[in-house]
Amino acid sequence: TQLLEQSPQFLSIQEGENLTVYCNSSSVFSSLQWYRQEPGEGPVLLVTVVTGGEVKKLKRLTFQFGDARKDSSLHITAAQPGDTGLYLCAASFTGGGNKLTFGTGTQLKVEL
Amino acid sequence: GAVVSQHPSRVICKSGTSVKIECRSLDFQATTMFWYRQFPKQSLMLMATSNEGSKATYEQGVEKDKFLINHASLTLSTLTVTSAHPEDSSFYICSARDEAGNTEAFFGQGTRLTVV
């Protein structure tokens, strides 16, 4: 069973601060997605990365895929209260078919 | 983007009764759909993979007789929680992946089940 560990588990910061969330596995991903989820709703896709070393930017969010495709990070610059939510990485593993395995999650709270 | 619709969004049922949750892909065909369970402030745990026209594949520890899955068409999968108990209360979410080579998974809005 593949496990995806996210850190930190909880993060409470002030508006304007920067933060980084990490997603790590002992197995190689074939692809990795980052999602944000708000209470009572399904996860919403932020980005998909498939190539080792890939970096993608989405406004104030920067996503990086490790060279060995076993880790990823999400960096948020100048966090805003609207960034508050549960951030989840999810990966497909070689031989796992279409199945997505979710990370343990990072609960982010951005306060004024 | 593709849309996955889940119904109902909330349901309250009495212990011992069964509840059916529907998951529909609205503008694409999905031979495979996935059912997840999520407890408060926790991540999504995959329960089972729903395969159109064949039996579902359940993850270890998930009772297939308790959580019945039917995937009768390329756009609809259903999850029935049978003989529900309060410990079955949870947030259930479905997802589907576009079989046309897209790696993205689209998620339903989720169903909040409360068993009283």
pLDDT in tens, chain B (116 residues): 668 999 999 999 999 999 999 999 998 888 889 999 999 888 999 999 988 888 899 999 999 999 999 988 889 999 999 999 999 999 999 999 876 656 678 899 999 999 99
Distance CA A90, CA B12 (A): 30
Do B45 and A99 count as a contact with CB atoms less than 8 A apart?
A: no
Q: Are B80 and B88 in contact (CB under 8 A)?
A: no
Residue with tokens 């395969």: B51
Q: Which residues of B touch A103 (CB under 8 A)?
A: 43
CA A10 to chain CA centroid, Å, is: 13
Distance CA B78, CA B66 (A): 13
Whether residue A25 lies within 8 A of chain B, CB to CB, comes out as no
Q: How many CB atoms lie within 10 A of CB A87?
A: 24
Residue B108: closest C-alpha in chain A = A42
Q: Are A46 and A83 in contact (CB under 8 A)?
A: no
Q: Which two tokens stand for residue B23?
A: 């998951």
Q: What is the pLDDT of residues A25-65, one digit of tens each?
A: 988 888 899 999 998 999 999 999 989 999 999 999 999 99
Q: What is the pLDDT of residues A59-109, one digit of tens each?
A: 999 999 999 999 999 999 999 999 999 999 999 887 776 788 999 999 999
Whether residue B14 lies within 8 A of chain A, CB to CB, comes out as no
Q: Which pLDDT does position B54 carry in this prediction?
A: 85
Q: Which pLDDT does position B31 carry in this prediction?
A: 83
Residue B51: closest C-alpha in chain A = A98
Q: Which pLDDT does position B32 carry in this prediction?
A: 87
> Interior CA angle at A20 toward A19 and A23, to 5°?
155
Residue A89: closest C-alpha in chain B = B43
Using CB atoms, which residue from A50, A88, A98 is nearest to B43?
A88
Q: Which pLDDT does position A2 carry in this prediction?
A: 63
Q: Which two tokens stand for residue A52?
A: 């080792």
Residue B16 makes CB contacts below 8 A (sequence gap 6+) with: B83, B84, B85
What does pLDDT average to over chain A? Answer: 92
Distance CA B22, CA A38 (A): 21
Q: How many CB atoms lie within 10 A of CB A20?
A: 14
Distance CA B86, CA B64 (A): 18
Distance CA B103, CA B113 (A): 29
Q: Which pLDDT does position A112 carry in this prediction?
A: 92
Q: How many CB atoms lie within 10 A of CB A49?
A: 23
Q: In what order do the strands lie in the sheet with A61-65?
A: A5-7, A19-24, A71-76, A61-65, A55-58
